[in-house]
A and B are shown apart, each in its own frame.
Chain A
Amino acid sequence: MGNTSSMLTQYDIEEVQEHCNETFSQQEIVSLYKRFCQLDRSGGGFISSDEFLSVPEFAVNPLSQRLLRMLDGLNFKEFVAFLSTFSSCATLQQKIEFIFKVYDLDFNGKVTFNHMLDVLRDLTGSYISEQQRQQVLTHVLDEAGYAKESSLVLADFIKILGSSGLKMEVEVPVD
Chain B
Amino acid sequence: MDLDRPNLEEYLTTDSIHKPHEKLRLCDLLDISPALTEAVGAIVDDSFTRCFKSNPPEPWNWNIYLFPLWCFGVVVRYGILFPIRVLVLTLGWIIFLSTFIPVHCLLKGNDKLRKKMEVFVANHTSMIDFIILEQMTAFAVIMQKHPGWVGLLQSTILESVGCIWFNRTEAKDREIVARKLREHVLGLDNNPLLIFPEGTCVNNQYSVMFKKGAFELGCTVCPIAIKYNKIFVDAFWNSRKQSFTMHLLRLMTSWAVVCDVWYLEPQNLKPGETPIQFAERVREVISVRAGLRMVPWDGYLKYSRPSPKHTQLKQQIFAESVLRRLDEK
- With a cutoff of 8 Å between Cβ atoms, the chain A residues found around residue B27 in the complex are 144, 160-161, 163-164
Residue of B nearest to A140 (CB): B26
Tell me which residues across on chain A come within 8 A of B110, comparing CB atoms.
none
State how many angstroms separate the Cβ of A168 from the closest Cβ of chain B.
Answer: 4
Contact A56 B26 (CB under 8 A): no
Residues of chain B lying within 8 A (CB to CB) of residue A67:
36, 39-40
- Cβ contact within 8 Å between B25 and A56: no
Q: How large is the interface on B (under 10, 10 to 19, 20 to 34, 35 or more residues)?
A: 35 or more
Known: A5-B56, A127-B320, A141-B26. A60 touches B31 (CB 8 A): no
A55 at the interface (CB under 8 A from B): yes
Closest to A98 in B: B36
Q: Which residues of A contact B61 (CB under 8 A)?
A: 2
How near does chain A come to B32, taking the closest CB pair, in angstroms?
6
Q: Is A147 an interface residue (CB 8 A)?
A: no
- Contact among B25, B35, B41, B315 for A144, CB-based, below 8 A: B25
B135 within 8 A of A: no
Of the candidates A62, A146, A161, A172, which one forms a contact with B35 in the assembled complex, judged by CB atoms under 8 Å apart?
Answer: A62
Whether B29 contacts A2 by the Cβ 8 Å rule is no
A-B contact count (CB 8 A): 164
Q: How far is the CA of A103 from the CA of B33 in the complex (A)?
A: 12
Q: How many interface residues does chain A have, given as a range?
A: 35 or more
Known: A123-B32, A125-B311. A58 touches B46 (CB 8 A): yes
* B158, CB-defined interface residue at 8 Å: no
Question: Do A61 and B42 contact each other (CB < 8 Å), given the known contacts A99-B36, A127-B319, A128-B322?
Answer: yes
- State the CA gap A29–B298 with chains docked (Å): 30
* Residue A170 lies at the interface, judged by CB distance under 8 Å to chain B: yes
Residues of B participating in the A interface, judged by any CB pair closer than 8 Å: 11-12, 14, 16, 24-33, 35-49, 53, 56, 59, 61-62, 240, 297, 301-302, 305-306, 310-312, 314-316, 318-320, 322-323, 326
The 7 closest A-B pairs by CB, nearest first: A2-B59, A127-B319, A125-B315, A57-B42, A144-B26, A124-B319, A60-B310
Can you identify 25 A-B contacts, CB atoms within 8 angstroms? A1-B59, A1-B62, A35-B43, A35-B45, A38-B53, A55-B48, A56-B297, A57-B11, A60-B314, A61-B35, A61-B42, A62-B315, A86-B36, A86-B37, A98-B36, A123-B32, A124-B315, A125-B319, A128-B319, A140-B26, A141-B26, A144-B26, A164-B28, A168-B37, A170-B41
